[in-house]
Amino acid sequence: MDAALTELETRLAEISDLSKATGVLGWDQRVSMPPLGTEARANQLATLGRLIHEKFTDPEIGRLLDKLAGFEETEPYDSYRASLVRVTRRDWEKARRVPVELEEEMTRAAASGHHAWVEARRNRDFASFLPYLERNVELKRRYVECFEWTDSPYTPLLDDYEPGMLTSEVREVFAVIRPALTELVAAAPEVDASFLHGDFPIEAQRAFVERVVATLGLTDGAWRLDKTVHPFCTSFSNRDVRLTTRYRDDDLESIWSTLHEAGHGLYAHGIADELVRTTLGGAPSLGLNESQSRTWENLVGRSRPFWDHWYGPLQDTFPQLRPVGLDEFMRAINRAEPGLIRVDADETTYSLHIILRFELEQQMIEGSVALADLPEIWDARMKEFLGVDVPHVGDGVLQDVHWSGGGIGYFPTYALGNVISLQIWHVVREAIPDLDAQLASGDVHPLSTWLRENLYSLGSKLTPKETIERLTGSPTIDPEPYLTYLRDKTQTSV
Amino acid sequence: MDAALTELETRLAEISDLSKATGVLGWDQRVSMPPLGTEARANQLATLGRLIHEKFTDPEIGRLLDKLAGFEETEPYDSYRASLVRVTRRDWEKARRVPVELEEEMTRAAASGHHAWVEARRNRDFASFLPYLERNVELKRRYVECFEWTDSPYTPLLDDYEPGMLTSEVREVFAVIRPALTELVAAAPEVDASFLHGDFPIEAQRAFVERVVATLGLTDGAWRLDKTVHPFCTSFSNRDVRLTTRYRDDDLESIWSTLHEAGHGLYAHGIADELVRTTLGGAPSLGLNESQSRTWENLVGRSRPFWDHWYGPLQDTFPQLRPVGLDEFMRAINRAEPGLIRVDADETTYSLHIILRFELEQQMIEGSVALADLPEIWDARMKEFLGVDVPHVGDGVLQDVHWSGGGIGYFPTYALGNVISLQIWHVVREAIPDLDAQLASGDVHPLSTWLRENLYSLGSKLTPKETIERLTGSPTIDPEPYLTYLRDKTQTSV
């Protein structure tokens, strides 16, 4: 048993190293790579991806798992060793169901789909993208057929991002929040946020956000922050965390973009050392990971106590904010305002963009919608959900990269993250009664320490629902704390 | 045959991708990585290194080479296909002679030796490094035993960096240049270079060197320049070239450091497309690669015509140079001045540092010197070769990283590069009679184009000696052009 476990660990460590190497190549591509390096980089990433897949689906891993049959019942459920065998078994069995040829077809279709999407979005031309989307959807349907499912053919896709989550469970949550959000948006008061646009020199923004991030609980020498076009966070160990952000010289969005990525970074930084070079070295799901980026971006970064501490330094950095009172600033950064673009959406409207996509994705996989009709349906639902008119497909159905690369099933995790963030926040507030006073004094460490000890350090030993249950006492995704939070935010002046 | 060749190409392309991935991880480590990322990065690099070794020494490569027996004689010697099979056969046969266990022992000894060296150099304590050096030397002797050699047990080590070069050939060259250089150094006039020290703001240096590099022949979008502690150049394809340099705010050394790395970069950039993802995608040897870094650093970058063009812009950048005439500047940047440290040495003294190391390395491998006596011997030879007194081992025998990582056989390539650079330069001057006028007008493209077409594009299709023969008409390494150049430089005012 012990020999089999050691052999399994060695193989998983090798796969983890290759995955991290892939991460370094991806980070470099988005932060540093000269543009003409693209073609060679695609080859390098494809080779690493193929090796990782080969090594993880190697029959020898199956033989080791056979030798370890029942092992996971002999140690505590959440122990490192039991979790390693259990989670590896789950992932291996899922990966083995997909024929290599289908994996490769999906990879190729994603690459050419991405290329077609870039062009189509630029030209606002859905028709040119349609054949690529059709191909991606067709392959996803073949992928779904590799699995058994009960409630919806969408569930195997969702499961790639939210292990163990059912489509029906997400539907239930979204059925509650959709009308509630539409109502909130319609009732949201107009708020003056004009002072958030103006002249905000990028170097000053950079210095300010670096200063803020340095207080959040990331160890010195274990992270860096760079600029990029589409912000992201990646990590190559829990001591090598790469945040990226985007600066515009006429607004302050870099603050919340950076706090968002810092939330992901704190998660990666908090993974327990013993999990780092294994299959357990990440968050249990995209939704849980997103819950923490949203926590730091919104629940901390748009809170009154946080700005009680930081608004003075912000005014010192940008003196044009001196005439703007903190109450006024708080209202502006918490306002709800329907818009066309998901990535620019505020907290209140954001999940509506997601629910629209979630509904369309299910129809696409079920085959209950003609893909050619997507632009029309999109525009109608934008009107229905958010009351906005879509001027062209570039700001409509073509705005997101996900479908071009076959990333169907990913979108709902964003909204789940929003909802889960409030469930966890509710527990945090009970555990740290002084939280507001701490934030107001600039002391974020009790918060980040609690989250690390109770959530981040677990890695993916538990499933998303098990993780939520450990924190909240119930595995259910409960939208109420989320809706209460948004109602408080939009209907009272902060 | 064709099927075997295609299969070989596929395997070599995969190995090349993994090597480039290793390169990206190495670049990131030295340019971007937060310090606490070190441990995880070592794991990632070790895994990639092991995979590359496994894949290259795979018996299947041997079977493919067997199937391709005689193939390299059926196509022109310098054709892509003949060269690919010939060079791969040579490299594979060399790699297969070394037992995996010995490779791994060497890797481990190099890692711990490096660690011990860092400490020992800081503490100026040779004794603490001695056991690690002994281990490295012992392993190198076992490595040498894997090969047959005729002239010296040092030859298999040299061959790793200069394929096909014999120790005896290097000895012959060095026997000529050593006394000549010692004589030149002793006779060198004192030159006032005080104006090269002063206040040179780093941002201004950066802008100036970026401007210079942009004129050398590297395609826009195919390179970048970053700062680092120990400058180096690496590339991940011929269209993704990474230069690094070091800036000090009190001198202008960044100019020549950058030109040096740009020379390596031009080589990597000039590799023919068809060679990039194969075993042929680099320079034939370190010496030839160094010949080009030296060409751009010295033969171009310390030449009068180059500064005829650039001295004005440099004076505009650093107005304190306005009172300094170009003649005076030229004398200062071409002066010979004995010193302790190899990496700070000028053109004239540099090779003497190398010859000292080359002689010691041969004795270490032959076992004709007690390693404990190295500091004493080092100091005595520094006095003999360069007339300087070594104050402590940190500035003496412990100054270089190479031996700590088992890099024995590497040093002579630096001096060979110096010598070869002048042999090639001689041919260049004949091929481009207008060269001086072009450089004086800031037009470097005819030079970089000639070097790309006649040298860089060949990659490692030919051995070093074959490459030199193709360019100069003779395979011999001839020190005369090099000595003539240095005599002209140090004894006449430039």
Quote the strand ranges of B198-250, DSSP E.
223-227, 233-237, 240-245
Measured between its terminal Cα atoms, the distance across chain A in Å is 58
Alpha helices in A214-346 (DSSP H): 253-270, 286-294, 304-317, 326-333
Q: What is the model's pLDDT at position A492? A: 56
Whether residue A28 and residue B33 make contact (CB cut-off 8 A), yes or no, is no
Whether residue B18 and residue A239 make contact (CB cut-off 8 A), yes or no, is no
Of A9, A162, A169, A261, the active-site residue reads: A261
Cα dist from B481 to A390, B274, B347, B420, B472, whole Å: 73, 34, 14, 9, 12
- In this prediction the ipTM stands at 0.93
Beta-carbon pairs below 8 A across chains A and B? 116
Cα dist from B119 to B126, B138, B194, whole Å: 10, 21, 34
User: Chain A: nearest CA to B222, how far in angstroms?
Assistant: 5
Q: What is the model's pLDDT at position B493? A: 44
Render pLDDT for A313-345 as a digit per residue (tens, 0 to 9). 999 999 999 999 999 999 999 999 999 999 999
User: Chain A: nearest CA to B37, how far in angstroms?
Assistant: 5
Residue the block writes with tokens 């790309």: B452
Quick one: DSSP state of residue A456? Answer: G
CA distance A31 to B140: 40
Nearest CA to B283 out of B173, B421, B380 is that of B421
Chain B residues with CB under 8 Å of A222 CB are 34, 36-37
Alpha helices in B75-166 (DSSP H): 80-96, 100-123, 126-144, 155-161
Three-state SS at A189:
coil
Strand order in the sheet with A223-227: A223-227, A240-245, A233-237
B464 close to B170: Cβ distance less than 8 angstroms: no
Please give the average per-residue pLDDT across A150-178, as a whole number: 97
Instruction: Count the helix, strand and coil residues of chain B and give each as a percent rounded to the nearest 5.
Output: 70, 5, 30
B351 close to B411: Cβ distance less than 8 angstroms: no
Render pLDDT for A343-357 as a digit per residue (tens, 0 to 9). 999 999 999 999 999
Q: What is the model's pLDDT at position B100? A: 87
Side-chain half-sphere of B390: how many Cα atoms within 13 Å? 26
Render pLDDT for B466-478 as a digit per residue (tens, 0 to 9). 999 999 999 999 9
- The nearest alpha carbon in chain B to A238 belongs to B37
Chain A residues with CB under 8 Å of B41 CB are 236-237, 240
B335 close to B188: Cβ distance less than 8 angstroms: yes
Tell me if the pTM is above 0.90: yes
CA distance B159 to B136: 18
Whether residue B14 and residue A47 make contact (CB cut-off 8 A), yes or no, is yes
Q: Which amino acid is at A158?
A: L
From A18, A37, A47, residue closest to B47, measured CB to CB:
A18
Nearest CA to A284 out of A177, A160, A111 is that of A160
How much is the CA Rg of chain B, to the nearest whole Å?
23
Q: Is residue B261 annotated as a catalytic residue, yes or no?
A: yes
pLDDT band at A494 (very low <50, low <70, confident <90, very high): very low
Whether residue B43 and residue A241 make contact (CB cut-off 8 A), yes or no, is no
Q: What is the mean pLDDT of chain A?
A: 96
Render pLDDT for B14-66 as a digit per residue (tens, 0 to 9). 999 999 999 999 999 999 999 999 999 999 999 999 999 999 999 999 999 99
Most B CBs within 10 A among A12, A237, A271, A274, hence the mutation to make, goes to A237
Chain A residues with CB under 8 Å of B25 CB are 21, 24
Cβ count near B422 (within 10 Å): 22
Whether residue A221 and residue B35 make contact (CB cut-off 8 A), yes or no, is yes
Chain A residues with CB under 8 Å of B241 CB are 34
CA distance A317 to B271: 49
Alpha helices in B391-463 (DSSP H): 412-431, 435-440, 445-454
Whether residue B236 and residue A13 make contact (CB cut-off 8 A), yes or no, is no
Render pLDDT for A98-119 as a digit per residue (tens, 0 to 9). 998 999 899 889 988 988 999 9
CA distance A444 to A311: 16
Q: Per-10-residue mean pLDDT for chain B, 494 residues long? A: 95 98 95 94 93 95 96 95 97 93 90 91 97 97 96 97 96 97 91 97 98 98 95 97 97 97 98 97 98 98 98 98 98 94 94 97 96 97 95 96 93 97 98 98 97 98 97 96 92 53
Measured between its terminal Cα atoms, the distance across chain B in Å is 58
A447 close to A438: Cβ distance less than 8 angstroms: yes
Render pLDDT for A298-313 as a digit per residue (tens, 0 to 9). 999 999 999 999 999 9
Chain B residues with CB under 8 Å of A225 CB are none
Render pLDDT for B166-217 as a digit per residue (tens, 0 to 9). 999 999 999 999 999 999 998 889 999 999 999 999 999 999 999 999 999 9
Chain A residues with CB under 8 Å of B239 CB are 34, 36-37, 39-40
Whether residue B24 and residue A20 make contact (CB cut-off 8 A), yes or no, is no
Render pLDDT for A420-447 as a digit per residue (tens, 0 to 9). 999 999 999 999 999 999 999 999 999 9
Chain A residues with CB under 8 Å of B221 CB are 34-36
Whether residue B236 and residue A37 make contact (CB cut-off 8 A), yes or no, is yes
Please give the average per-residue pLDDT across A220-237, as a whole number: 96
CA distance A59 to B312: 68
CA distance B27 to A41: 14
Whether residue A236 and residue B37 make contact (CB cut-off 8 A), yes or no, is yes
User: Chain A: nearest CA to B17, how far in angstroms?
Assistant: 5
Of B9, B261, B359, B361, the active-site residue reads: B261
